[in-house]
Amino acid sequence: MTPNTQTIEYNDKIVRQFMLASIIWGFVGMSVGVLIASQLNFKFLNFNMEWLTFGRLRPLHTNAAIFAFVGNMMFAGVYHSTQRLVKARLASNFLSNLHFWGWQGIIVAAAVTLPFGFSRGKEYAELIWPINIAVAVIWVVFAINFFWTLGKRQEKSLYVAIWFYIATIVTVAMLYIVNHLSLPTSFTHSYPIFGGVQDALVQWWYGHNAVAFFLTTPILGIMYYYVPKAADRPVYSYRLSIVHFWSLVFIYIWAGPHHLLYTALPGWLQNLGMIFSLMLWAPSWGGMLNGLLTLRGAWHKLRTDPVLKFFAAGVTFYGMATFEGPLLSIKSVNALAHYTDWIVGHVHSGTLGWNGFMAAGMFYFLAPKLWKTKLYSVPLANMHFWLGTVGILLYVAAMWVSGITQGLMLNSLDASGALTYPNFLETVQSIRLPMLFRVFGGGLYLVGFGIMIYNLWKTIQSGQATNGSFEVETDDSSDDSVGLVGAIASPSFLYSAAVIVTSCVWMFVEGAVGLVGGLLFIATCVAAIIHFKKKSAALENWHESFLRSSMPFTALVLIAAAIGGVVQIVPLVTIDRESVTEGTIQKIYTPLELAGRDLYVSEGCYNCHSQMIRPFVSEVKRYGEYSTLGDSVYDHPYQWGSRRAGPDLARVGGKYGDDWHYTHMMDTNALSPGSNMPNYPWLAKKKTDFDALPSKIGALRSLGVPFPEATDQEIVDAAKAQAQQIASGLAERQIAVEADRQIIALIAYLQQLGKTESADNESLAATTQ
């Protein structure tokens, strides 16, 4: 070693740990996926056990796939590639270990609480509030460790993969915190602070961007590092990668409302979601092409190298999924596809094809390096590839058939204008075969994954854990980075900001102020041209120095990502409710109905039933009057749903008798032959927690739900009295069940669904507090 060089030993132990964790949890999450897909075909697989029902296991599957499988894989890839790209060891062994064990603890906590029915009732955000806090803390640990490492770096320039990692860290933190703001009522229960449409918008701002910034941006960073590495070729176009990054970060955040098309969400937001989703086509495909074209001149290696094979297919699936996403965001397409299996298929082409294959490629690339050996079997890796590819294609094609079939049937009207298929179960029976193919396709993928586990296990056995190292020249030159204040105070930033402000004033303000804005815009442009003519390198220097300082760059990324959310969410929080409730407003829940609603959330009913009737003739004929914002204004959390494995329940109240609901919940096939809905016998055995109601009502009252004033005892007494009334009614119909059982509370809630009253100014004022 010369006096001016330094040998860096990377912390690859943490990379190995995250990689193995991803593989183990991935297998668990995918196995649960195959089980719940099977439950939709074979009802008996719910085993009449509460912790094994579809409604409770589906959140376990989605959370395991996203946070346990992709999360651990992402951390492995980020830590491995970042150390090498910045030529520095991870800043802290302690923080790295805390990150790893903390994240695994969170996963275990999720795996225990979700099957037991502890849920916040929002998709991919089901975990209860103590776990939410743990996630936030561990994410901060990750961020500190990452940025601290950047601060120690020997390579001054930040490669584009690092940009994507930075975007992931700051944006996920923002999304996760805002969507998980809750008011606890106990250690295991809380209510989201947002309700109704606000909750729906915040949820899909988060839900859509969990896909964007948890499942996409970190994997794109991984793509930009590992694909060139595996192909031994530089990235096709670094220019394109820069445009790809900024476009994606800016646009993605706006697209969340496309999950709520034709719902009661205000129309301008729906249009905004659709437009920005369509705009996403360009950066997504720019990134895909950049990844694929990096393989130029190396295509022949795909025949022999399983790593490149998985990467090429993974990037191709990224292209497919990001083509299909904007397509599904076109309102007329969405009218058919929403609430059907088409959406499920779309999501899985992304997770299995893009995330799963990029993970597999990365694992096959890393294992021989991290254990200093050779891959045990290339033929087994090839078998994994083909089983996985065929599995995904079967899965996705089956979901296309299923979704389009059911969507068409549900929307179909005969010549007289009546529903062609009035019985929802008819549509379920018609998709039995594609649902079976889904199980088969998913099963193939799982078998392929199992082969990978065996292959990697044998690979690891044949080698020895080894940490990489690198010799770098120490750089004693003066620090040319720029601080946050320096970046903002630079002429480049100030000119840019002035151009934005003055152009907005010019375009959007009328009269003299608008005219002044126009003149200032022109003056700013002229001044900028003169300034940079004199100092031609200034703007470039500013950008370059920006990239050498990670914190200002991070702030800029956060601003770019936050704009969309602010523009969409702030106006909705301050919306004029009187103009959107259409004269009716949801009736306040009685204490017993509230207890029943919490059970509805806990059992995960929203995984199969929506509470949102879209303004289509077929839906109004099938379910009743279309839903309005007033219908769910007091709902914390909202329960609009995203998939109809069963019918919409927005107006099911009063449609059937209490005895029908009781019998149906005990044995769904007794009243709905062929239904794949689980039975819920434990609801007739377990007791309603009446004593928790006062604190729950207190929490909701503080969130603006105008419950009538009552003492704790009055609340409990009212709940028990209503329960007794329902139990007595059931007894008259020869159904013996005690009044304090959960089924009674659930029936009370179901019978209330869709009950509204005239909206007066007083009640509206209360909700806008």
Partner 1 sequence: MWSRIAYMEWQTLLPQIGFALFALAFVLAIWRTFKMSPSELERASRLPLEDE
Residues that bind partner 1 (CB under 8 A): 81, 84-85, 155, 157, 159-161, 224-226, 228-229, 232-235, 237-240, 242-243, 246-247, 250-251, 254, 264, 266-268, 271-272, 275-276, 279, 468-470, 496, 499-500, 503-504, 507-508, 539-540, 543, 560, 563-564, 567-568, 571, 575-576, 579-580, 582, 615, 626, 628-629
C-beta closer to partner 1: residue 275 or 425: 275
C-beta closer to partner 1: residue 69 or 310: 310
CB of 245 to partner 1, least distance (A): 8
Separation between Cα atoms, residue 35 and residue 265, nearest integer Å: 34
C-alpha gyration radius of the chain: 28
C-beta closer to partner 1: residue 271 or 412: 271
CB of 74 to partner 1, least distance (A): 17
Separation between Cα atoms, residue 227 and residue 235, nearest integer Å: 8
CB of 250 to partner 1, least distance (A): 5
CB of 494 to partner 1, least distance (A): 14
Among 258, 336, 259, 251, CA closest to 287: 251
Among 736, 726, 728, 696, CA closest to 712: 696
Separation between Cα atoms, residue 276 and residue 325, nearest integer Å: 11
**In whole angstroms, how far apart are CA 188 and each of 63, 117, 130, 685?**
18, 10, 8, 21
C-beta closer to partner 1: residue 235 or 677: 235
CA 425 to chain centre: 29
Give the pairing type, strands 5-9 and 584-586.
unpaired
CB of 617 to partner 1, least distance (A): 10
Residue 96: CB partners within 8 Å, gap ≥ 6? 11, 14, 79, 90, 145
Q: Per the structure block, which two tokens stand in for 130? A: 């103590």
CB of 81 to partner 1, least distance (A): 8
CB of 264 to partner 1, least distance (A): 8
**In whole angstroms, how far apart are CA 329 and each of 206, 278, 286, 538, 674?**
17, 7, 19, 42, 32
For tokens 């609603």, name the residue: 597
Separation between Cα atoms, residue 176 and residue 198, nearest integer Å: 16
C-beta closer to partner 1: residue 279 or 671: 279
C-beta closer to partner 1: residue 213 or 626: 626
Within 10 A of 702 (CB to CB), how many other CB atoms are there?
12
Give the pairing type, strands 182-184 and 190-192.
antiparallel
Is the CA virtual torsion 87, 92, 94, 98 positive or negative? negative
Q: Per the structure block, which two tokens stand in for 629? A: 């914002």
* The residue count for the chain: 769
C-beta closer to partner 1: residue 228 or 442: 228
Strand runs labelled E in 513-659: 584-586
CB of 155 to partner 1, least distance (A): 7
CB of 7 to partner 1, least distance (A): 11
C-beta closer to partner 1: residue 115 or 283: 283
> Any idea what DSSP says for residue 589?
P
Q: Per the structure block, which two tokens stand in for 542? A: 């500013």
C-beta closer to partner 1: residue 515 or 570: 570
CB of 373 to partner 1, least distance (A): 16
